[in-house]
Amino acid sequence: MNQTLHIIRKDLRRLRWLLVAWVVIIIGRLALNVAGSSVEPVDTGLQLVIGNLSSLVGLVEMLMWGLLISLLVHDEPLVGANAFWLTRPIEPNALMTAKLALAGLFLILGPSVREVIEMAWFGASPRDVLVAAPSFLFTQAFWMLMLLALAVLTPSLTRFVLTIAAGALSFVVAIGAITTLLVLSRSEEREYVAAPLMPDSTAGIVATLLLMCVVFGVIVYQYRHRWLSRAILIGGSGAVAAVIVASMWPWHFARALEPDPGAWAHDSTRTPARLDATSPPKVSELPSLRPAKIPKKQVATRIDLVGTPPEYAVGSIGVRARLTFSDGTTIVSAQQNGAYVLRFAGDQPLYRPTQLQAVLGDTHLASNARRDFAYTMPVLLRVTDADYQRYGDQPGHLSATVDFALTKFRVFGSLPLSAGAAMRDRTDRFDVVRVLRRSDGCELFVRHISVRPIWAGRVPRQFHYVLRNVERGEAIEGDAQELMPLGELNVAGALFGVTVDGSGAGGFSVWHELLRYPSGAMSASPTPRIDAAWLDGADLVIIESAYAGHVTRSLEVDGFKMRP
């Protein structure tokens, strides 16, 4: 223990100015994050300045990570036989413990304190900090161990930097080669696969945890034995084993249970699948990135789930079909493809206002019209060009099994039009940061905070914002512009800071939304007159749309023709 403390004191004296600079960078990023969240959305000039400074500080922080670890480890290098410290009576375990302790203190504890302060600034509770902390610590520890492993396998800063550059380049080339190979070798036809629809980050978490154990083992082995080739072999074989074990991991702890839509979804007679006779089939060439050996066409058509409650949106996710003709010929197809269809304003829209109106009840929603928009029709059949030419005009008997994905809309809550208004549940919080009223509308700056444990399963969901006046029974949609917290850099934020995109396995995520009412889009229905009196009685309604499970239905159609 005395030798460990002696090494720690020696490194603190040797790296004192670099560590002071590191603390300044941590404080600087904290100040920029706080300042960025306080800037008015309309002040684009100041936003640009703070954003550029934040990007610069984030880049410097990444470089400082590598420099700190290199100077910490390479003062007593573990590669080569001419290091001065080998002639001193330094215990390998004491040396390793001192290096790990200092790395953890400055590269994990320091940024963690900053993140706790940031979370408190954004309004996180102590419970939120406890829930999000494992995700951040997990990420920080992973990158610290990875860089430490590279440092113990290299003799100097130069070799350390070259190894990182070579590794990054090799990774990019490998990903590009694998992606190209997969694109060129895979079939353009997305075959039907009966797989869980819930996102599952179990394999990623397990693989990362196992890889951390392998990397830590490499560090310990190199400090104790200083055998470079064997340490590299341990690291390479361990990484392969980690990936294999993670891919075969049986316990999917990070996947939520499949939601049950309710009794109505289990009654196939009440909610049957029906082919929409008013929408003719859409026939197109099967898209391909290379010349097809056998030209194929895809026949898409609209399939409805009849009797669905109005607060549910329905989408097709897979079709298994069989088309039989009078001469005994049968075409069998199973796929999860979709064909994009352009609809115009005069068409009946397949758009969310139907569900928004359903959850708003008696309040009339003036929905926005779209001059045109694209949606996806499920591909019912894939046929060869020859079969289409021969049987396209012949009626046949269609038997199909269709899988539908359900999305349920519900009112999450409502907020008054006043700065400081807030509401939350266990995982999400919404704050009205600022309100700017105009003579014919208003702008709202809303902050959305999400807190989720790294091991928790996630149900896909989105949030929609509607301005409502209950007394007048009127509601309007607006235009939403998503803004990132200015204190976070895209790349650096994913590695070192608050996750701002919500795509990670868990942790603390922040979104900023700038909402403008009424919408600049042309309205499909009479729009209420928005003035000061209307806004005085208005509130902001937050509506959640979340994945609600899936149902399977059988479909039988006589006289079906593929050709429109």
The mean per-residue pLDDT over the stretch 268-285 comes to 87
DSSP string, 279-342: S--EEEEPP-SS--SS-EEEEE--EEETT--TTEEEEEEEEEEEEE-TTS-EEEEEE--EEEEE
pLDDT classification of 161: cutoffs 50, 70, 90: very high
pLDDT tens-place string over residues 179-234: 878 766 665 556 676 666 788 888 889 999 999 999 999 999 999 988 999 999 99
- What average pLDDT does this structure show over 80-86? 70
Domain borders along the chain are: 2-188, 202-253, 263-405+551-560, 409-547
What are the pLDDT digits (tens) for 347-367? 444 446 789 999 999 898 886
Which has more confidence, 484 or 263?
A: 263
Distance between CA 270 and CA 263 in Å, rounded?
10
pLDDT at 92 over 90: no
Summarize pLDDT for 533-564 with one digit per residue, the tens.
899 999 999 999 999 999 999 999 999 999 88
Q: pLDDT tier at 481 (50, 70, 90 boundaries)? A: confident
Binned at pLDDT 50, 70 and 90, residue 490 comes out as very low
pLDDT of residue 34: 78
Q: Which is it for the CA torsion 162, 504, 428, 468, positive or negative?
A: positive
Choice between 373 and 73, residue whose per-residue pLDDT is larger: 73
Question: What integer pLDDT is reported at residue 558 of this predicted model?
Answer: 92
Q: Judge whether residue 275 has pLDDT over 80.
A: yes
User: 509 or 40: which carries more pLDDT confidence?
Assistant: 509
Q: What percent of the chain is modeled with pLDDT above 90?
A: 39
Computed over every residue of the chain, the mean pLDDT equals 84
Q: What's the mean pLDDT in 74-79?
A: 88
Summarised one tens digit per residue, pLDDT across range 250-270 is 988 888 888 999 899 999 999
What does residue 10 show for φ and ψ, rounded to 5 degrees? -60, -45
| pLDDT of residue 40 exceeding 80 | no
Angle at 409 between CA 406 and CA 410, to 5 degrees: 140
Query: Token digits for 429?
Result: 């919080």
Higher pLDDT, 165 or 371: 165
Q: How are beta strands 441-452 and 428-438 bridged, if at all?
A: antiparallel
Residue with tokens 């070192």: 496
* Confidence label for 103 from pLDDT (cuts 50, 70 and 90): very high
DSSP, collapsed to helix, strand or coil, labels residue 513 as strand
Dump pLDDT digits (tens) for 371-422. Answer: 445 567 888 898 998 999 999 899 999 999 999 999 999 999 999 999 989 9
Q: Please report which confidence band the pLDDT of residue 513 belongs to, taking 50, 70 and 90 as the band edges.
A: confident
Asked if pLDDT for residue 480 goes beyond 90, the answer is: no
Q: How many Å apart are CA 69 and CA 150, to the nearest integer?
A: 10
